[in-house]
Amino acid sequence: MKINNLRINSFGKLTDKDIRLSNGINLIIGDNEAGKSTMQKFISCILYGASKNKNGKEISDFDKFKPWYSDEFSGKIEYTLDNGENYEVYRDFKKKNPIIYNSQKEDISKEFIMDKTKGIDFFTEQTGIDEETFYSTAITEQEGIKLSKSSQGSIIQKISNLVSSGDDSISFKKTLEKINRNQNEEVGTSRTSQRPINVVENKIYRLIEQKKNLDTYKNRIDGNASRKQRLLEDQKKTQYEKEFLKEMKSKLEANKLKNAEINFNKNLEKEYNQKIKELNEQISEKREKNEYKKESHNNYYLVLSLCIIIFVILMFVNPYKIINFAFLIPIFFIIYKKYADEKVVETIQVNYDKDKIINEIEVLKKNREAQKLEAKTKEENLNKEIEEEKQKLAKKYENLLSKEFIEKNLNRDYDAIVRRIDRKEDRINTIKFELQTMQATAEDITKKLDDLAKLEEELQDSEEEREELLSLNNSYNIAKDCLEKAYAKVKANISPRFIKNLSDIISKISNNRYDNIVLTDDEGLKIEIQNGSYMPVSRLSVGTIDQMYISLRLSALDEISNETMPIILDEAFAYFDNERLENILRYINTNFKSNQIIIFTCSSREKEILDKLHISYEVSKI
């Protein structure tokens, strides 16, 4: 590839610049801050675009090179590929895509692949070199000769790709990274949380837990079925017991009237007994009173007799007074006679009353016995009737209730029966509530069990998905293992040739001072010193380091693309002494005759040495 012309309308500090370049060595000379590095940057930006991303820098290329005092931000490049095809690329840097013209000035932009982020990446498609590789090989920026380890690895990777597959875009390292990325995105690991394998594992765990719960519900509903049966049986039995007790209550209520009649007869008997008792007490009182009167009457006779005796004695003791008391004797007799008659009458009356009471008592006794007999008869009949009803009731419920329950409750009183009816009603209500609760629970569980088949199917699908993911993960691991082995084999085949080429270059430009270089993945470039040990290139002098890394770039450039890329050097030899500069320019001219060489410099040393070596060149000034 040859760059024929650069047309800079406005880019950074450069405006209205038109630079024509030749096939061989081109010197672009300008003072410091004249815009040499800006022109070098213009070449890469017009080919790959001016990125608005900082990519670790303080300011993006777009913002850095956008003109301050002009709305124009554009330019054009003309170049010829090794196959002889000519292209012109015009780019307005404020737009995402350039316009690409062929040799007939036809717009062929749509013939190139469109990248969603980069736009039309035409130059990578034409040369097989992406922007990163372009900066790592073809361009050596001012103060940017050294390659980072990642850039070194990228160059080695592209060389490996080219040698192993014939296409440097097929990168083992990037393929491995892509496999790891895809594996992480499509499968995941134990350290991820939202990847497919984690999602499906969590789903399986959740489904298993749900299934366990549903199995528990299934066991519960089976257990509830037997419990429901027991409750229904208990309800049925309790209902029969309640009906039995209610019939008992009804019969006891019916017998209350008959019991009242019997109690009435018993109360009459008690009343008769009370009246007889009272009459007997009256007889006793009259008897006592009559005895008292008899005793009083006898006492009267005794007193009267005593008085008479006293009068007789006095008469003998005092004969002269006897005449005075003699007439009292008839008086006493008359008084006594009257009193005795009254007592006789009174005694007759008492005896009459007594006989009357005795007759009344006899009547009461007869009535009492009649009432007693009637009450006894009624009570016996009632007891017989109750016993018959009890037997009928026991017969009615003998196949529905236990014999023990029937026997216990047949002889309970009314109040005890009422209390037990209340308890049976409470028990029935409790059973009904529990059955309703069980029914509601059973309906809820049934709904969940309806989903059990669906859940098991979903669980099976999830387990199959997990197996597929594990199989995919295993495939990724196998692919990575194969790639790593293949990459190791490729590196083993490439390294000797590449390192030999690199060693030859550094040997020639260092006057055979260094002729054995190695390149490792972890430490980068290392060089063998005089005592036979190896040390990192970074420990050498600045000039030697520049030689090493320019050698690495030139060695890589020859390997990574089928296109003969231009070599662009921006103040690359600032730390070279004249001897080293002469060696490198001679080496470039000898070994890279097919490559276009563009050297940006602020000094005349390159021109003087080229003239000394009689090497032809073209000069452009900024």
Domains and CATH numbers, the chain: 1-128+563-622 (3.40.50.300), 227-413 (1.10.287.1490)
DSSP state of 431: H
Q: Could you give phi then psi for residue 98, rounded to 5 degrees?
A: -85, 175
Confidence at residue 363, expressed as pLDDT on a 0 to 100 scale: 67
Tell me the chain's radius of gyration from C-alpha atoms.
70
Phi-psi region of 532 (alpha: psi -120 to 50; beta: other; left: phi over 0): left
| C-beta of residue 40 within 8 angstroms of C-beta of residue 46 | no
**Residues in the chain, overall count:** 622
Confidence at residue 301, expressed as pLDDT on a 0 to 100 scale: 57
Residue 529, pLDDT above cutoff 90:
no
Whose CA is closest to 617, among 591, 578, 588? 588
Residue 559, pLDDT above cutoff 60:
yes
For CA atoms 428, 432, 438, 441, the dihedral sign is: negative
Tokens 């018959």 belong to 388
Question: Helix-strand-coil percent breakdown of the chain, rounded to 5?
Answer: 65, 10, 20
Structure tokens at 539: 């420990």
pLDDT tens digits, residue range 466-509? 898 888 888 888 888 887 777 677 666 656 766 777 777 777 77
Residue spans of alpha helices (H) in 398-451: 403-410, 414-450
What is residue 519's three-state secondary structure?
strand
pLDDT tens digits, residue range 290-321? 555 555 555 555 656 666 676 666 666 655 55
pLDDT tens digits, residue range 341-380? 555 555 566 555 666 666 666 766 676 677 677 767 777 7
Q: Centre a 10 Å sphere on the Cβ of residue 180 and count the other Cβ atoms it contains.
A: 12
DSSP state of 572: T
Structure tokens at 56: 């670790």
What is residue 597's three-state secondary structure?
strand
Task: State how far the Cα of 330 lies from the Cα of 528, in Å rounded to an integer.
Answer: 194
The pLDDT confidence band at residue 526, using thresholds 50, 70 and 90, is confident
Q: Centre a 10 Å sphere on the Cβ of residue 424 and count the other Cβ atoms it contains.
A: 20
pLDDT tens digits, residue range 11-23? 999 999 999 999 9
What is residue 551's three-state secondary structure?
helix
Tokens 């009068």 belong to 311
| C-beta of residue 447 within 8 angstroms of C-beta of residue 454 | no
Confidence at residue 328, expressed as pLDDT on a 0 to 100 scale: 53
What distance separates the 2 farthest-apart alpha carbons in the chain? 225
Residue 421, pLDDT above cutoff 70:
yes
| C-beta of residue 233 within 8 angstroms of C-beta of residue 428 | no
Angle at 261 (CA atoms; ends 258, 263), nearest 5 degrees: 110
Confidence at residue 105, expressed as pLDDT on a 0 to 100 scale: 93
What is residue 10's three-state secondary structure?
strand
The pLDDT confidence band at residue 104, using thresholds 50, 70 and 90, is very high
Task: State how far the Cα of 525 lies from the Cα of 527, in Å rounded to an integer.
Answer: 7
Residue 165, pLDDT above cutoff 50:
no
| C-beta of residue 509 within 8 angstroms of C-beta of residue 547 | yes
Q: Centre a 10 Å sphere on the Cβ of residue 113 and count the other Cβ atoms it contains.
A: 10
Helix (H) or strand (E) run with residue 120 in it: strand 119-120
Tokens 């980068």 belong to 524
| C-beta of residue 438 within 8 angstroms of C-beta of residue 224 | yes
The residues, any chain, with a CB within 8 Å of residue 426's CB and separated by 6 or more, are none
| C-beta of residue 414 within 8 angstroms of C-beta of residue 253 | yes
Strand positions, DSSP E, 21-123: 25-29, 74-80, 86-92, 99-101, 114-115, 119-120
Higher confidence at residue 266 or residue 515? Answer: 515
Confidence at residue 112, expressed as pLDDT on a 0 to 100 scale: 92
User: Which residues on neighbouring strands pair with residue 88, listed in sequence order?
Assistant: 78, 101
Between the alpha carbon of residue 352 and those of residues 38, 206, 285, 342, 359, the distances in Å are 168, 114, 14, 15, 11
Mean pLDDT of the chain: 78
Confidence at residue 7, expressed as pLDDT on a 0 to 100 scale: 97
Confidence at residue 160, expressed as pLDDT on a 0 to 100 scale: 46
Whose CA is closest to 589, among 608, 613, 620? 613
| C-beta of residue 27 within 8 angstroms of C-beta of residue 618 | yes
Structure tokens at 58: 């303080």
Residue 49, pLDDT above cutoff 70:
yes
CA dihedral 174, 82, 497, 169 (to 10 degrees): 10
pLDDT tens digits, residue range 244-268? 989 888 888 877 666 666 666 666 6
What average pLDDT does this structure show over 118-145? 80
Q: List the single range of 31-40, 85-94, 256-265, 409-418 with lowest mean pLDDT.
A: 256-265
Structure tokens at 232: 């229904």
User: Which residues on neighbouring strands pair with residue 517, listed in sequence order?
Assistant: 527
Residue 89, pLDDT above cutoff 90:
yes
Residue 111, pLDDT above cutoff 80:
yes
Higher confidence at residue 126 or residue 338? Answer: 126
Task: State how far the Cα of 75 lies from the Cα of 93, in Å rounded to an integer.
Answer: 8
How many Cα atoms sit within 13 Å of 97 on the Cβ side?
18
What is residue 112's three-state secondary structure?
coil
The pLDDT confidence band at residue 572, using thresholds 50, 70 and 90, is confident
Confidence at residue 168, expressed as pLDDT on a 0 to 100 scale: 45
Q: Centre a 10 Å sphere on the Cβ of residue 87 and count the other Cβ atoms it contains.
A: 19
The pLDDT confidence band at residue 387, using thresholds 50, 70 and 90, is confident
How many Cα atoms sit within 13 Å of 293 on the Cβ side?
18
What average pLDDT does this structure show over 116-138? 85
Task: State how far the Cα of 46 lies from the Cα of 122, in Å rounded to an integer.
Answer: 11
Task: State how far the Cα of 338 lies from the Cα of 300, in Å rounded to an integer.
Answer: 12
